[in-house]
Structure 1
Amino acid sequence: MILFPAIDLKNGACVRLEQGDMARATVFSNDPAAQAKSFETQGFEYLHVVDLDGAFAGKPMNAQAVESMLATVKMPVQLGGGIRDLATVEAWLGKGIARVIIGTAAVRDPALVKQAAKAFPGQVAVGLDARDGKVAVEGWAETSQVTALEIAQRFEDAGVAAIIFTDIARDGLLKGLNLEATIALAEAISVPVIASGGLASIDDVKALLTPAAKKLAGAISGRALYDGRLDPAEAMALILSARKAA
């Protein structure tokens, strides 16, 4: 189980949104590279980054901030937001991103995901952000008519590295992960699933380490880390202890 600290980028700053609403953004840092370094120093092993402006624009918008993070940390970085074509996938991987996350294009252009996953094995993940079970696209501005499971099943044999499943209703609100829906998705497909949206406390981390959640590959934490509700040292100690016991 990997716990990914999240950096969401808006206008070059680290922010957290509430339920994906750009008008409800809280700025936590104006120095993404320093924030990334802080997470690395705290013992985290893998960084999750989202270019929020890119998700709305359909193309990378915070490249300078991302590149500054890549130059600052040694841990792998996965990046989503505005990745809608193979050229963008290739460009980010060439700059040192360990794994790209394709969201909107996974709904609208599944062939792109399959092509990218084949060209870059182990380096392409799919981001599925669900509102009432249906997948949202375009930076969550629109809701499609397909379920997360229907989309995930399209990529069963495509070589996708992971599915990142976010419950939009909980994102940024510290209400706890929607483990029931996330575990159900993980048990229905063979692709590793990462939980996202609402991780609020050490109790969520403990729940992720129970036998019921054993199929989950990891979880993403944002606001709880920024406002001090989740102690990084305590969380990482629990995870490392569980790994040794496994």
Structure 2
Amino acid sequence: MRIIPAIDLIDGKCVRLYQGDFSKTTQVGSEPEAQLAEFIGDGAEIIHIVDLDGARHGEARQYELIERLCKQSSVPIQVGGGIRSMVTVKKLIDAGASRLVLGTAALEDETFLQEALNSYADNIVIGIDAKNGKVATRGWETVSEVNYIDFARKMEEKGAKTIVFTDISRDGTMSGPNLEALKELSQAVSCKIVASGGIKDNNNLQQLEEIGIEEAIVGKAIYDGKVTLGGFQGDR
């Protein structure tokens, strides 16, 4: 199990949302550069950075900050939020990002998605954010009628190799991940599944490992000291 600490950014600050609600935002941790250094010092092997301004408004809003963080980092950086054009994809890859998470664009712009997968297959990750089993987009503020399993199968057909799955109702709640949905997803596709949302402690990480999940993005539980990067003793 590889723990991926999350740095969510709004207006240059590290924040956490509650169930994806932008009206329930809490500033956490240090300034982004200091938080990144702290995670690396604690042993992070990869770090997840989300431009929440970009996710909400449909364009990369904090590119300069993310570029600085990529250049500062000695470990791979996974970036999400507002990545909806090949120009943005190339800029972020050139800035040093190792993985790019496509969410809204994966659902709404098949031409762009296919071009991104064709050009950067090893760097593209599909973000599936679900609410009651339906895929949500645009910073989680719009919920489609598309079932998350059907969407995952379609993404695999198009060449996706990795999927980050977030149950929005669990995100920021520390109520535990949606193990049932994650198990169904991992059985439905052969992509690597990265769990996100609701992870509260090392027991949750063990549960994820038992159903075959190899990586988990953890936010609030790390900031609250419930999960430590060096504290999980599962297989790594």
TM-score, normalising length: structure 1:
0.92
Please say if residues 135 and 145 of structure 2, whose CA atoms lie closer than 8 Å, have aligned partners that are also in contact.
Answer: yes
Q: Aligned-pair RMSD on alpha carbons? A: 1.2
SS in 2 for 1:66: helix
| Matched ranges for 1:97-246 at <5 A | 97-210=97-210, 213-214=211-212, 216-235=213-232, 238-239=233-234, 242-243=235-236
Give the Cα separation in 2 of the matches to 1:192 and 1:158.
15
Asked if residue 3 in structure 1 is aligned to residue 6 in structure 2, the reply is no
Aligned-pair CA distance for 1:68: 2.2
Aligned-pair CA distance for 1:165: 0.5
CA deviation vs aligned residue, 1:171-215 (integer Å, no higher than 9, x gap): 0000011111011101101111111100001111111222xx12x
CA deviation vs aligned residue, 1:109-155 (integer Å, no higher than 9, x gap): 12322211110121001101000000111101110000111111112
Sequence identity (%) = 38
Report the residue type matching 1:42 in the other structure: D
Report the residue type matching 1:221 in the other structure: V
Give structure 1 regions of 4+ aligned residues with deviation exceeding 6 angstroms.
none
Q: Could you tell me which residue of structure 2 aligns to residue 29 of structure 1?
A: 29
Give the Cα separation in 1 of the matches to 2:87 and 2:118.
14
Larger CA deviation: 62-71 vs 196-205: 62-71
> What are structure 2's unaligned runs of at least 5 residues?
none
Report the residue type matching 2:149 in the other structure: L
Please say if residues 174 and 200 of structure 1, whose CA atoms lie closer than 8 Å, have aligned partners that are also in contact.
Answer: yes
Q: How many pairs align?
A: 236
Asked if residue 38 in structure 1 is aligned to residue 35 in structure 2, the reply is no
> What are structure 1's unaligned runs of at least 5 residues?
none
Aligned-pair CA distance for 1:231: 2.5
